[in-house]
Chain A
Amino acid sequence: MKTASKYFLIFGLFALIFGSCVKQEFDEPEKTNVPVGTVLTIGDLRQMVIDSIQNVVGATNYRFTSDYTVYATVTMDENRAGNLYKSAYIQDSTGAINLQFLNSGSLYEGDSIRLNLKGKLLLEYNGAYQIDSIDIEKDIVKIATNKSVTPKTVTIADLMTGAYEAQLIKLEDVQFILGDLGKTYADFESNTNRTIEDCDENQVLVRTSGWATFYSETLPSGKGSVIAVASVYGSDIQLYIRSTDEVSMDSARCGGGSGIVYLNKDYTDANVFSGGWIQKQVVGTISWSIYGSTNPAASISNYTGGSNQACENWLISPVINLASATTPILSFRNCSGYTGDDLTVWVSTNYDGTSAPSSATWTQLSFTLAVADPYWSWTDSGPVNLTPYKNATTYIAFKYTGTSSNGKTWEIDDIIVQEQ
């Protein structure tokens, strides 16, 4: 090949190779600044809810159409313990408010932020003031981290005025009500309310998400303090706990009582047998079921298919460990209807938990029966002393009998075994 054409060819090849760049380097895009505009305080925003929504007929929200900014600190986020979802609370010196996000995001308790309100909605949701439709990535700029807000110490009566809506507060000398002892903060994947009270029997709700990391922890049984964000839902005050580290209830309860609960069955989960309860159908096939939806209770009746069935049914508790108890007391509520045998209550310390009742020794216990007339008169059983039956493996049982000619319907609820 001629030299000239050879060099031409080589030059052409090199040109081709250098021109074959496949550029895969990318410049970082410019930062888009979040504008500030007019600065408002949270107090201003809360007043706007009153002025522009509550006092305006037919208004359900207020939309910001130009740049407004609020500076505040995040008092509660959804990331620390998962007790909120697509939501957070912010507070400044003039008040607090709830934020609702389009998506979960990277906002943390202690973040000092500025939030641009343009395009966002101000609204009221059953008494709770909210800023809605926030995009954390576009609307919020973080100025600093780890800025803590001191919770205000208040009383339940203070909360009931609604003046602390969305704020971080602390209650002292409060306890969970007796009926909640032994339960967990929330049921699995279900937002749950529990109730705390002060020594004057003022009550306020504690609401916990079924997805919170601490949902399965047992409620503390003593009296003490709790830090939470106070929210409002209709006529109820609802407290949201940020972390169980901020719940410190281990002093003696109001009105005495240790608050130690060994067994607690209130049927709010609409399941007769959850928690390990079993039934033994010694005679017949009659079975316990749930009655009621607002306040479910366990119910049994031998009237089926148009007639009464002779039956004997034992509803047996899970094993109750009373080995270290001092004075364990059983109490429950009961009511009945129609004519037939009375419900009886029994205790055993040598039952094995699975076999027929006849395999163990049962002692009958006396309690206050519901009156036969009028029907459905809910009656407290009164304290039933289990002290003589303190044992690591104590069982209680509710025995129901009916004949082929008659039988009562019995209902029971709120079964508690606790330290006196």
Chain B
Amino acid sequence: MIKHLKNLLLTTVVFTYIGVSAQTDLPDQPKSNDSIPVIELQTNSGDDENESDKQEAAGLLKASSDVFVNAASFTFSPARFRIRGYESEYISLNVNGMPVNDLETGNAFWSAWGGLNDATKNDVVNDGISASDFSFGGIGGSTNIIIRASTYRVGSKLTLSSSNRSYRNRLMYTHSTGLMDNNWAFTFSGSRRWAENGYVDGTFYDAWAYFFSGEKKLNNKHSLGFTVFGAPSKRGKQTAGTQEMFDLTGNNYYNPLWGYQDGKVRNSAVSNFNQPMMLASHYFTINEKSNLNTSLGYSFGRGGATAITWNDAGDPRPDYYRYLPSYWSEASNADETANYNYYTALWTAEESPQLNWDAMYNANYKNLYTVENANGEGSDFTGMRSIYMVEDRRNDITRYILSSVYNSQLKERIALTAGFNGTIYKSHQFKVVDDLLGGDFWLDIDKFADQDPTQPDVQDNDINTPNHVVEEGDIFGYDFVANVNTFKGFGQTVFNLKKIDAFVGVELSETQFWYTGNMANGKFPDNSFGDGEKYSFFNYAAKGGLTYKVTGRHFIKGNGAYLTRAPFFRDVYVSPRTRNHVIEGITSETVYSGDINYIYRDPFINFRLTYYYTEFQNKVMNKSFYHDDYATFVNYMMTDVDLLHNGAEFGVEAKASQTITIIAAGSKGDYYYNSRPNVTIARDNNFETLAEDRVVYLKGYKVGGIPQTAGTIGVKYNSPKYWFAGINVNYFDDIYIEPNPERRTAEALEGIYPSDPQWDLILEQEKLPAYPTLDFYGYKSWKFKTYYLGLYVAVGNILNRTDIKTGGYEQLRFNTGYAHLHVDNVEKFPSKYFYMFGRTYFVNLAFSF
């Protein structure tokens, strides 16, 4: 009786956070959340819309059995929390054992899986430095999404969802046959997510997803599988804003990227992503102890986003710094005062200032222009030259991956994993004319390229086609390919002894990358076309962990890892849009990390207490931003960047009674820069570097944009009548604004004394106020005959607080020296912030049959 009760309680405890699975008998289901939908992360495109498309993946989306990791993935994600502050490049993302992190940036992109929740719910998640049976993993853990057709739950499922976040509606349908008598298994999933207007004005959402997987069991040892999936999506973007913009419009979600065209809302920054992937897999069960899984993958497609661009015209963006009253606030004459009043009235009006599409069309309709020696072909071309235009900055990839993983239970207590994988990756980056906005053509010349009488074609982005006249669909501006190839081999042994569990693993890898230019740029005619020099890096990594089982309830676990990593292509090329040039002194990055854990489990309570310490050394960081005065991108490349992340985590889950569970989880971290990096600053349209080898006094500054302290306390009521509900109180603190490296240099402080208030204003790092949030969730399921219906409701930020800043960054544009003053020169380009959405809801109805 007691044993029965104990089992029941244990089962309830384990499944509490994941949610009750179907009432049908599925004891050997992998720990997946059949009924709780994986809530989609706001893949916020909230970066400055002019930065290169940096999609973040904050933490793992998948449910883990660990209380803290679960809280971090779901509850903390609206606050931009990252576990241990690690960027997604330290998390290893795999599909069928095949690594799929992006090779150019290292990021684990979740957009390739948008809408494929059902298809990707079979997964294995390993947290932190841990043993893994499919990859060496990273210090941030590893995830393997298993898409083997025979592993899916047999049956069909139809899901309808409604939300007010990035998309409003979702429809998903999945059907899996399971392994049939003819030894075939098929799984199909399709979904549609859409919104005319998301939570933020001007953000529309238009996404489909499809997944098809087939498997043929040849015999008891061999199975072959084939999978194809894709998640094409188009989304209107939003961007961060300065506090002045939010204050004047009275709207913390003000979005300057859209405007009215003929009365309809049109967003100038639309991301358009479509990168399907195909895999052919071979599953080889060698014997009951060993198996070998091999996959060959091919992925291709488009990525990137549009942006508005202009030439020979005033800046059309409503948030251009000179269109804000603050630029005119130190008015010294009647004209300036008139401007101050004009812009104040503009920004405080009922309708906030947005893009004026109609005016842009009208300007283009009238702009008669003759191009002499058009395209270098000798004759003139006359037509309406667009002075405003929407360009599509594309990032199309082609990728081949081959991976093979061998697992074997060598002896009763020793398991071996070994594998290798190789990737050939190409990212083709170029610009295309998307919409001429009423004009006939766009002239592709760089008017701001420094004129040099010895280089007459310096304004041509393609010297083979001078005075390039481009129309919709034409490539212009820049065109290059980032080539990255990697090859890795790893091995790992896991020991499960009576008192001790241990694992040790090593990985060796070889990375090679190089630049291929498709356009000879007039500013760098000898250095932009063709293949560039190849850079190779040899890297190694080792990890190990030990769990000491003090008793059946108390555990002490320690893990450590040491790895070197090759730098990423995006970080080392000074300005690949115009030239093939790598910054001096690129080396591999070194990471060493360790954590020590105390774990306690009994039928009523389980908790984990952890201290972790990680150092990153010799990182290379590249920040890029669009500088209005130079009319080009400016790149900040820092070398010798060291970071230190350390802190404590805890997670507790306690059964207060048969029906009530209490959860608490939290983390207090300290992540900061631990060195004085060297920075090189270069303009895209000028060969001269603006600064070289400048020391950045960044040591001690905190890593910005994320909460370094986060905590949650939740109560959940589990009713035996097939429903549960819970409420969480969350708290976030230690959110810093990411620092601008240029402001922490001796040059920035030239001419300013420490007693001057400017000194502090320039140097200090802003910390955002701490804040609490309140969330609610509930679930009820019904079952009749073989049909199952589940309803899930979640409400986030119940108190509807719309005044919470979740993160931000200092603008890279910065005025040094008093010469440019309107007194507060630092304030001329103030920090930009993101605000947390107010009350949001998510309702999900799932029908399984």
User: A: which residues have CB within 8 A of B?
Assistant: 1, 9, 13, 16-17, 20, 22-24, 26-29, 31-32, 34, 79, 102-106, 108, 110-111, 137-138, 140-146, 213
Contacts and interface: CB of A to CB of B under 8 A. Distances in A.
Interface in B192-246: 192, 194-196, 204-206, 234
Contacts of B368: 111, 142-145
Contacts of A9: 158
Nearest to A101: B314
Given A24-B204, A24-B206, A106 B387 contact: yes
B196 A142 contact: no
Given A17-B171, A137-B313, A106 B367 contact: yes
B314 A103 contact: yes
Interface in B312-369: 312-314, 357-359, 361-363, 365-369
Given A24-B234, A27-B262, 9 more contacts: A13-B171, A20-B171, A20-B194, A24-B206, A26-B261, A29-B357, A104-B313, A108-B369, A137-B363
A140 B366 CA distance: 8
B849 A22 contact: no
Contacts of B496: none
Interface centre among B192, B262, B270, B368 (most CB of A within 10 A): B368
B385 interface: yes
B451 interface: yes
A9 to B, nearest CB: 8
A400 B367 CA distance: 64
Nearest to A110: B370
B251 interface: no
Interface centre among A24, A105, A141, A143 (most CB of B within 10 A): A24
A135 to B, nearest CB: 9
B270 A24 contact: yes
A146 B370 contact: yes
Given A22-B205, A106-B385, A137 B261 contact: no
A137 B587 CA distance: 51
Contacts of A27: 261-262
Interface centre among B195, B205, B359 (most CB of A within 10 A): B359
B11 interface: no
B261 A32 contact: no
B358 to A, nearest CB: 4
Interface residues of B, number: 42
Nearest to A31: B365
B204 A145 contact: no
Given A106-B369, A106-B387, A29 B171 contact: no
A137 B385 CA distance: 12
Contacts of A20: 169, 171, 192, 194
Nearest to A143: B368
Closest 7 CB pairs of A and B: A106-B312, A137-B363, A103-B314, A142-B368, A22-B206, A145-B370, A29-B358
A144 B384 CA distance: 11
Contacts of A17: 171, 192
A145 B382 contact: yes
Contacts of A110: 370
Given A142-B366, A143-B368, A22 B195 contact: yes
B314 A104 contact: yes
Interface centre among B264, B266, B366, B369 (most CB of A within 10 A): B366
B438 interface: yes
Contacts of B370: 110, 145-146
A301 B370 CA distance: 62
Contacts of A32: 358, 362
B262 to A, nearest CB: 5
Interface of B: 158, 169, 171, 173, 192, 194-196, 204-206, 234, 261-262, 264, 266, 270, 311-314, 357-359, 361-363, 365-370, 380, 382, 385, 387, 438, 447, 451, 787, 849
A105 B387 contact: yes
B367 A26 contact: no
Contact of B312 (A24, A28, A105, A146): A105
A321 to B, nearest CB: 21
A22 B362 contact: no
A108 B371 CA distance: 11
A406 to B, nearest CB: 39
Contacts of A138: 359, 362-363
Given A22-B195, A137-B387, A28 B361 contact: yes
B313 A29 contact: no
B362 A137 contact: yes
A79 B314 CA distance: 14
Nearest to B368: A142
Contacts of A105: 312-314, 387
Nearest to B847: A9
Contacts of B438: 28-29
Nearest to B437: A28
Nearest to B787: A1
23 contacts: A9-B158, A13-B171, A16-B171, A17-B171, A20-B169, A20-B192, A24-B234, A26-B261, A28-B438, A29-B358, A29-B361, A31-B362, A79-B312, A79-B447, A103-B313, A103-B314, A104-B312, A106-B311, A106-B385, A137-B359, A137-B387, A140-B366, A145-B370
Given A105-B314, A106-B369, A142-B368, A22 B196 contact: yes
Contact of B849 (A1, A23, A143): A1
Contacts of A143: 368
Contacts of B362: 29, 31-32, 137-138
A105 B234 CA distance: 33
Nearest to A113: B368
A29 B261 contact: yes
A412 to B, nearest CB: 31
A42 B314 CA distance: 27
B690 to A, nearest CB: 16
A289 B371 CA distance: 52
A211 B380 CA distance: 29
A12 to B, nearest CB: 10
Contacts of A140: 366
B153 to A, nearest CB: 18
Given A105-B312, A105-B314, A29 B366 contact: no
Interface centre among B204, B205, B370, B438 (most CB of A within 10 A): B370
Contacts of A29: 261-262, 357-358, 361-362, 438
A26 B264 contact: yes
Contacts of B313: 103-106, 137
A137 B171 contact: no
B451 A213 contact: yes
Contacts of A146: 370, 380
Given A22-B194, A22-B195, A34 B366 contact: yes
A411 to B, nearest CB: 30
A137 B171 CA distance: 46
A24 B271 CA distance: 13
Contacts of B365: 31
A145 B359 contact: no
Contacts of B357: 26, 29
A137 B196 contact: no
A241 to B, nearest CB: 16
Nearest to B453: A217
Interface centre among B234, B311, B357, B361 (most CB of A within 10 A): B361
B182 to A, nearest CB: 25
Nearest to A217: B453
A32 B365 CA distance: 9
A76 B196 CA distance: 48
Contacts of B849: 1
A17 B261 CA distance: 26
Nearest to B160: A16
A373 B537 CA distance: 79
A9 B158 CA distance: 10
A111 B382 CA distance: 12
Nearest to B267: A24
A142 B382 CA distance: 12
B192 A142 contact: no
Contacts of B173: 13
